[in-house]
Structure 1
Amino acid sequence: MRNPASLDLVRSIKSFIVSFSFNAPNPENNSKRIQDFFLSMEAAIRGHPLWEASSDAEIDNALEGLEKYVMTKLHSRTFASSAEDVKMDAEISDKIYLLQNFLRPQHLDIPSVLQNETAWLLAEKELKKINAFKVPREKLLCIINCCRVINNLLLNASISEDRVLGGADDFLPILIYANPPQLHSNLKFIQLCRMQSKLVSEAAYFLTNLVSAKSFIVDLNAKSLSIEESEFEESMQAAKLVDRVPQETLITFDKRSAFRNITDPGSSIPMHKKANSNINGELNYPYMEAEAGELTVGDVERLLSLYKDVVTKYTSLCSTVRHLSVSKTVSPVPQGNDDDLLRGSNGTHKDTSCKGD
């Protein structure tokens, strides 16, 4: 494109990008314009003298580079560009968050052979990368990598347990476990803005499965799960009550990383010495704004003490929430972090419910 002979193509690309600033965002209309533009540019490139001796692979690379350039420029105009998409993202994320409070593998009929902590963590890691990218292809690669991990888990299960490979249902634990941000907008962005000629084969299959899993979550109710309707409704209400607790009163600890990154002794002044007292003379939680490098070895004992204090208070809160149910005791609210909700330490389900009663 830096060759003067490609000036006509460069002008077409820049003109197309600028044209988006003249119209209000409209996902469906924008998608048609983008797909038509890619088709016309593919024809122009294939018929251009600069690419007349190029192989199909070289032309394919040129088209991928074109999509990356154009969609990076248009990202703010095409990703989560409507109020409806933003609202849907929030609703899905909130619903998954509530489900995380009580949903267990048995509610989704997930066999123990698929409750593999290592595989779920790896799949979660890949899916959560999706918002780090602005281009449909790179977002799609995050989904493909996530789904390959799940597919390998299913394949191993089918071999060892003579189990038929599953579909969208087997992706549900990962979505609920990872709760990827802006799930709806990411899937829609890929569907509308990725070159249609590339949404085939493996990529199309995995994307379709994830879209189906998202749709299942949107419509999910007690009838979708192995759970009594009254228990489901009461558990959702209990989760909403817990969600109203001021977040500053809780400290979330990830058991996989709470102390793993504390390798540098850092400042010689312990973090708890820097804390101020509140109006009741009690010590505030001093680690909320701390970085790992600021912690000292002496802070570990103090941090553990604060953690136990928070867990004790959270357990009491769980007990109180259960007693608010008027018909019967609701499903227990987890005492541990969200990572334990669908898995145990060895890949099997572990009950992490509150034991406050």
Structure 2
Amino acid sequence: MSFAADGKPKFDFDIFMKQLRHRKADPIVRYIRSFIHNFSQRHFTTLEQMKTVQDFKDFIFDKLLEYEPFSLMNDDDLGNAKLGIEKLVMTKIYELCYSPAINPNNLDDSHKLDLEIDAEIYSNYIEYSNITADDLEADDELVSMGDEFIKMSINELNKMKLFKSPRAKIICILNSCKILFQLIKSGKQNQNADEFLPLLIYTIFRGQIEELISNLLYIERFQFVKNSEVEYYLVSLNAAAEYVRNLNRERKNLIDV
């Protein structure tokens, strides 16, 4: 198990796949294959998808404790295996679960709503293309001095739609938000975390982040492993997305259209 600069274990999918090829891990492989095959053969509503995936997650995580090499692992290595299962499973059924990737003929009401909200948000990017940091109550000085930080943050958010596993999308969000916090910390001494949300909203607008709600709901519905740091950033990004979505109804008085 390797470790990141912050001391936390790094996810290694290649190690997990080697472990999955262990002779005694064959039952785990069969369970995963069976789930993917059966899931792909049925037409679910979004709620049914969520329940089916979460039920399988609970089932397969219990089974890891019964079969080597997983049954012999410490918590860090077992955590890596759980993330490996998430990536393997969700990559295989991504086109059935991620709203923009689903065949339009197979969209249920919830998946359709995801796309409709994405379209609302994108429409606001266009309608309010001249929005300023001051309009969004973001600190002008931070925005002015942190142009490169904001560009990097935008780049990370735009990477979300390139990945299929919930965790990979989450890493994009973490990277983006941490870049903005780095900008805040490098600013004038009285800057604090209260600057983060307006700066995040400004970043979303400036980057015109596509498929924002679809990505957030995909993560919420199908992530296998949660932690408090991730939840904080997901809540913040959801709040920012909701602000952008409702701007035309609640904040028109701020913008000279």
Q: Tell me the TM-score normalised to structure 1 length.
A: 0.59
Paired position in structure 2 for 1:133:
163
Give the AA of the match of 2:138.
I
Q: Deviations over 1:252-307 (max 9, x none)?
A: xxxxxxxxxxxxxxxxxxxxxxxxxxxxxxxxxxxxxxxxxxxxxxxxxxxxxxxx
Change (3 A) 1:222 1:155: farther
Q: Deviations over 1:122-163 (max 9, x none)?
A: 111111111111111001100100000111112233xx2413
Give the AA of the match of 2:241.
K
TM superposition shift of 1:57? 1.5
Paired position in structure 1 for 2:63:
44
**Secondary structure of the corresponding residue to residue 94 of structure 2:** helix
Give the AA of the match of 1:4.
R
**Secondary structure of the corresponding residue to residue 107 of structure 1:** coil
Unpaired runs of 5+ in structure 2?
Answer: 1-19, 103-110
Stretches of 4+ moved more than 4 A in 1? Answer: none
2:209 counterpart of 1:190? no
1:205-284 matches, cutoff 5 A: 205-221=232-248, 223-224=250-251, 227=254, 231=256, 235=257
Paired position in structure 2 for 1:24:
43
1:84-233 matches, cutoff 5 A: 84-100=113-129, 102-115=130-143, 116-157=146-187, 160-166=188-194, 167-195=196-224, 198-221=225-248, 223-224=250-251, 227=254, 231=256
TM superposition shift of 1:225? 6.0
Count of equivalent residues:
225
Paired position in structure 2 for 1:350:
none
Counterpart CA distance in 1 for 2:94 and 2:26 is 24
Q: Would you tell me which structure has more helix in proportion to its own residues?
A: 2
Give the AA of the match of 1:42.
F
Tell me if structure 1 keeps the 8 A contact 2:117–2:245. Answer: no
Unpaired runs of 5+ in structure 1?
Answer: 236-357
Tell me if structure 2 keeps the 8 A contact 1:109–1:226. Answer: no
Change (3 A) 1:4 1:179: same
Tell me if structure 1 keeps the 8 A contact 2:40–2:93. Answer: no
Q: Percent identity?
A: 25
Q: Tell me the TM-score normalised to structure 2 length.
A: 0.81
Change (3 A) 1:104 1:54: same
**How much is the aligned-residue C-alpha RMSD, in angstroms?**
1.8
TM superposition shift of 1:64? 1.2
Q: Deviations over 1:45-75 (max 9, x none)?
A: 0232432322212111111111111001000
Change (3 A) 1:222 1:19: closer
**Secondary structure of the corresponding residue to residue 185 of structure 1:** helix
- Which residue of 40, 63, 75 maps to 1:56? 75
Paired position in structure 2 for 1:73:
92
Counterpart CA distance in 1 for 2:249 and 2:71 is 60
Structure with higher Rg: it is 1
Change (3 A) 1:23 1:161: same
Give the AA of the match of 1:56.
D
